[in-house]
Amino acid sequence: MSKTTETKLEPASQDSGESILSRQLKDAIVSQKLAPGQKVTETGLAELLSTSRTVARGLMEQLTVQNFLVSISPRMTLVAPLTVTSIKENFMLRRMILPELISTSIESVDMDALSVLNKAIETLNVDKDNDDQVLELLRLNRQFNLMLFAGSKYELPVSWATLLEDMAMRIYWIYVRQHGKLPFAATHHENQIKAMQEDDPKRVQAIVRKTLTQNEDRILSAVLSSDHFHSHDLIV
């Protein structure tokens, strides 16, 4: 039977907007405080996020559109399942969109900021059993990836790619909780930065495709080789 929302998050500050609450809710789903398949209600979310039922209702609608939640019926909303199929789908879509999108953003990327961010990822010590540390690593990695294509003039692919990166945090959570690190070496980011500095779109595309393919293989291998996961929803 599905659980209902029980875990209490840190209260939002007085001036927190709905975007901050949305990030808090996504983090709760990424970290499986709200586990795949868990029932979500307006009342439960309002208590979880220390907000009103009206705001909670809006967040539920927003995250349902973004596929973090699924509406089973007018009275039943669940955290979206996380399955092997959904992992494959995410990587497939990112391989279709990201290589070309990132290669069109080379001129607008702040290379120094990317290097600083990559250094922060490299030097962050992560205890795989510490949810806050794992989330911080995933946030830094997401920020790095968003910076790669944030300057693109193609607004629709940027919005798709941003959503896919949000969803990818749920996937990487599984791997980092097992291994205490991301499924790729820091040299992957360094190679991306170098190729962009050399203004080499084809090499950028090749590196992005290779990294995504290797990440998918490693994550699926970690999932399929472990008896720790449930057969349907991948709950750590």
DSSP 169-235: HHHHHHHHHHHSS-SS-HHHHHHHHHHHHTT-HHHHHHHHHHHHHHHHHHHHHHHHT-SSS-SSS--
Counted domains in the chain: 2
- Between residues 10 and 212, the one the model is more confident about: 212
Does 234 fall in a domain?
Answer: no
Same domain, 100 and 189: yes
One domain for residues 45 and 127: no
Same domain, 101 and 192: yes
Task: Give me the mean pLDDT over the 179-201 stretch.
Answer: 91
Q: Among residues 79, 96, 117, which one ends one of the domains?
A: 79
pLDDT at 13 over 80: no
Q: Tell me the average pLDDT across 47-63.
A: 94
Higher pLDDT, 177 or 185: 177
- Do 121 and 36 fall within a single domain? no
DSSP 140-154: HHHHHHHHHHTT-S-
28 domain residue, yes or no: yes
pLDDT at 3: 47
Percentage of the chain beyond pLDDT 90 is: 80
Q: Which residues contact 136 (CB under 8 A, 6 or more apart)?
A: 124, 126
**What residues contact residue 212 under an 8 Å CB cut-off, 6+ apart?**
91, 94, 95, 98
Residue 97 in any domain: the answer is yes
Please determine, for residue 72, whether its predicted confidence score (pLDDT) is greater than 80. yes
Let me know whether 200 and 111 are in one domain: yes
CATH code: domain of residue 148: 1.20.120.530
Same domain as 41, residue 23: yes
Q: What is the pLDDT of residue 231?
A: 47
- Answer yes or no: is 9 within a domain: no
Put simply, whether the predicted model's pTM sits higher than 0.95 gets the answer no
Residues 46 and 120 in one domain: no
In this prediction, residue 18 carries a pLDDT of: 43
Per-residue pLDDT, 164: 96
- Of 38, 62, 79, the residue that ends a domain is 79
Order of strands across the sheet with 69-73? Answer: 39-40, 76-79, 69-73
**Measuring CA to CA, how many Å separate 124 from each of 164, 175, 211, 222?**
24, 16, 21, 22
Q: Are 6 and 38 in contact (CB under 8 A)?
A: no
185 and 118, same structural domain? Answer: yes
Q: What is the mean pLDDT of residues 186-190?
A: 86
- pLDDT of 7 > 90? The answer is no
CATH number at residue 59: 1.10.10.10
Could you tell me the sign of the dihedral formed by the alpha carbons of 57, 59, 62, 65, in that order?
A: negative
Which of 79, 100, 121 is the C-terminal boundary of a domain?
A: 79
Q: Is 6 part of a structural domain of the chain?
A: no
- Taking only the tens place, the pLDDT of each residue in 121-138 is 999 999 999 999 999 999
Domain hosting 43: range is 18-79
